[in-house]
Amino acid sequence: MVETITAETLRDMIDADEEFVLFDTRSPDSFEDWHIAGARNVEYSGDNDELVGEFDGNDLDADDTVVTICATGASANSFAAYLESNGYVDEVKTVEDGMEAWSMVYDVVPIATETDDLVVVQLQRRSKGCLGYLVGSKRAGEAALIDVTRATDVFLEAARERGLKVTHVLDTHIHADHISRGRQLADRLGVPYHLGAPAESRDPQFEFDPIEPNDTVELGDVEIKAVHTPGHTTGMTSYLVDNEALLTGDTLFVESIGRTELQFADKDARDGARVQYETLHKTIMTEPNDVKILPGHFSVTNDGEYIDVTPGQPMVSTVGYLWENNEIIRMAEDDFVEHMFENLPSKPPNYEQVIATNAGEYEPADEDEETELELGPNRCAATSDSAVADD
């Protein structure tokens, strides 16, 4: 009998390094665009209960553990039943709601801090490479949520588990790769929703509580200071937490830097890269070497491989380490600008529609459309490979 498992159970099987065969029954094009590492593609029709592509199950043993996955669960369940009924294996597991569910799997990871009062939690969306944060004060019992995605329950549960009341919601910028739920959650909770004041240059079609550069949001004795870090976008704002950690959004990652041409285009593109260079050299890299860098993304390939990070582990670096080891940051300005346009990855899927949604210019018809807009990994880094050399 086919057993249905959750996407979180699949995550746990992967993390435990269990031995199993994973079949993805979507079309070859969909599979090529984005799949879980190690998956095999066998196209199967859930509507007609038949193979579309070729399948050779001779390498399967009856006692093998087999898991099937598709876009939403239908064809994978049918293929699982096909495997059982034809005697390929005794038992098959299929992932409920398929890759749509996989796209919403999160790891909730505490970040070590220097004081007992400060709480920092990193919320990792492992399929897309999106990172959000909870920043809080234990003594005040207050928290801010930064770069909240559609999985608002994950963010709220992180606060509840730590006995913290959410008093502020912030975004680092108007995102291009995923749909923000920051302002909607702030409205629901009746708390301020903040963007850096420079985000007004993007002409958002909604009201927000702007934070001017160097102004702070206070959670008891914990301070979150706005640091204007343009380049990825004109309105990009990083948040310096208690002079200990810098939440860099899409400006600086642990393995790369943020691309600039999603907002800047044509003749302005190189100007955007120069702005990014100045931000890195005159703002971020002037912080003390031990300041933690907590980025807004990590890199996931179309093949589901992770670049220089491990999901479920803290994704953090320091100013000093990245200054010494990030090869792009160490370039001269002109070389940096040219490098930004030599080997850029493809743009995030549907990025223009996602930007319009986050700017309040477009409203998706329903949750299905939102899911479709977000499918696939983020592509916000300026490189497809790591730019950070080993020590």
CATH code where residue 14 lies: 3.40.250.10
Is 21:66 a contact under the CB 8 Å cutoff? yes
Q: How far apart are CA 279 and CA 26, in angstroms?
A: 42
Residue 165: what pLDDT?
98
Domain boundary among 74, 102, 130: 102
Residue 390: what pLDDT?
67
Q: What is the domain count for the chain?
A: 2
171 and 187 within one domain: yes
206 and 68 within one domain: no
Residue 155: what pLDDT?
98
Residue 391 lies in a domain: no
191 and 98 within one domain: no
110 and 97 within one domain: no
Residue 380 lies in a domain: no
Residue 343 lies in a domain: yes
Residue 386 lies in a domain: no
CATH code where residue 303 lies: 3.60.15.10
251 and 154 within one domain: yes
Residue 286 DSSP class = G
Q: How far apart are CA 317 and CA 291, in angstroms?
A: 9
113 and 86 within one domain: no
Residue 327: what pLDDT?
95
249 and 368 within one domain: yes
CA distances from 18 to 207, 208, 327 (A): 49, 47, 36
145 and 65 within one domain: no
Domain boundary among 102, 123, 142: 102
Q: How far apart are CA 149 and CA 163, in angstroms?
A: 21
Residue 72 lies in a domain: yes
Residue 270: what pLDDT?
78
Q: What is the DSSP string of 335-365?
A: HHHHHTTTSPPPPPTTHHHHHHHHTTS---S
Within 8 A by CB and 6+ apart from 164, the residues are 119, 134, 136, 137, 138, 141, 142, 143
Residue 391: what pLDDT?
56
Within 8 A by CB and 6+ apart from 366, the residues are none
91 and 182 within one domain: no
Residue among 285, 256, 271 nearest 382 (CA): 256
Residue 48: what pLDDT?
85
Residue 326 DSSP class = B
230 and 156 within one domain: yes
Residue 325: what pLDDT?
96
Residue 381 lies in a domain: no
158 and 10 within one domain: no
Give residue 388's region: left, alpha or beta (phi > 0; psi -120 to 50): beta
132 and 76 within one domain: no
Length reported for the chain:
391
Cα angle for residues 368, 378, 157 (degrees, 5° grid): 65
Q: What is the mean pLDDT of each run of 10 residues along the chain (391 residues)?
A: 95 96 96 95 90 89 95 95 93 96 96 97 96 98 98 98 98 96 98 97 95 98 98 94 97 94 70 93 98 96 93 98 96 92 76 94 94 88 86 56
Domain range spanning residue 336? 106-374
Burial class (CB in 10 A: 0-12, 13-18, 19+), 324: middle
Is 282:275 a contact under the CB 8 Å cutoff? no
